[in-house]
Amino acid sequence: MLKKERQAYILHQVNLHNKVLSATLCQDINVSEDTIRRDLQELAEEGKLIKVHGGALSHSFNEVHFSTNGVYSQSQKKKIAQKAISLIHNGMFILTSGGTTIIEMARSLPHGLKATFISGSIPVILEYMNHPNIEVILIGDRISKNSKITVGPEAIAKIRQMKADICFLGINSIDLEHGVTDNDWEVVQLKKAMIESSQRVVCMTIAEKVNTFQPIQVCEIGKIHTLITELPADNTLLQPYQQAGIQVL
């Protein structure tokens, strides 16, 4: 793979997953760690990504205040957000993860909605705070500077004390064999606790992430109740998930 093609692949993965690991890129592209390190450094110097220890972040993922421009696949994420909102009713207790798709949902909540939203994501909490009628609970603990979300044993313990009506997860990857997967160990532990503490688990993702997987499992496919993408529910890509007993929206 030529350098230009290699760097284009890296940028696409960063935009798609918000965060990439150097080790994963080495394996995917079949090049040395030094090559990936140089590529990431060059791309960072060009302002195309943020180089961090062990990998890289997208610029949108690193912001606390997300702009309405420059978010990868934003129009698709808006469609997903509208579908997710159809599942929300007055009086619900709702757990949510972080991510740009969840932010789109937070921005689109009906003004008349009266419900309680619980999250450890700083950007998501800021969006919830703009809503006139919902109650907002921040899950506290140490903040991950990379993901802008509270992580650690105290956050997990607080989540386990709850029993949410529904949990909305922005996810990195999903396939039938591996279930829901991610590349951030601390965020995975938080999502595991959210799943355990919720009566219904809803995964939100652009279709490009369907049938992909990351190194760390969040949950098996059987733990998911609903999968939301921007595609029509009867799309052939999603039929195997329906056959596995998952509601597809």
Q: Residue 56's pLDDT is what?
A: 87
Residue 120: per-residue pLDDT? 92
Homologous superfamily of the 74-248 domain (CATH): Translation initiation factor eif-2b; domain 2 (3.40.50.10470)
Query: Quick one: pLDDT at residue 64?
Result: 54
pLDDT of the chain along its 249 residues, tens only? 788 889 898 988 888 887 888 988 898 888 898 999 899 998 888 888 888 888 888 876 655 555 555 677 788 999 999 999 999 999 999 999 988 899 999 999 999 999 999 999 999 999 999 999 999 999 988 888 777 888 899 999 999 999 999 999 999 999 999 999 998 899 999 999 999 999 999 999 999 999 999 999 999 999 999 999 999 999 999 999 999 999 999
CATH class of 3-62: mainly alpha
Domain boundaries, the chain: 3-62, 74-248
What would the DSSP string read from start to end of the chain? Answer: --HHHHHHHHHHHHHHHSEEEHHHHHHHHT--HHHHHHHHHHHHHTTSSEEETTEEE-HHHH-SS--SSS-TTHHHHHHHHHHHHTT--TT-EEEE--SHHHHHHHHH--TT---EEEE-BHHHHHHHHT-SS-EEEEPPSEEETTTTEEESHHHHHHHHT--BSEEEEE-SEEETTTEEEES-HHHHHHHHHHHHTBSSEEEE--GGGBT---SEEEE-GGG-SEEE-SS-TT-TTTHHHHHTT-EE-
pTM of the model: 0.82
